[in-house]
Amino acid sequence: MPAYSKVTRHGQVTLPASIRRELEINEGDLVEFEVIDDRAVLIPKKMVDKSQAYFWTKRWQEGEGESDEDIKTGRVMVFDSVDELIEDLG
């Protein structure tokens, strides 16, 4: 169901509560606007601490996906101790 909002004198728009809830947009969050054809598209953004930015790189996320798949299919080994792990590596 569409939601509507009026543009104010200074070009401001209030996002309807239903849209904010669905997109999990909260006060202080960043949003990006992009014009696609004749539409203004709003894209919610989350800030990531610089020390955590590596986690969101394409390469890291692909590795996370591979790890998830390995876990799902049982391609993992479990060790009872660090010594057992090191012995297996040797």
**For residue 85, what are the CA distances in angstroms to 55, 67, 70, 75?**
26, 18, 18, 16
Residue 32 backbone dihedrals phi, psi, to 5 degrees: -110, 140
Q: Which domains does the chain have, with CATH numbers?
A: 1-47 (2.10.260.10), 50-89 (no CATH)
Q: Average model confidence (pLDDT) for the chain?
A: 94
pTM across the whole model: 0.53
* Structure confidence at residue 1 as a pLDDT band (50, 70, 90): confident
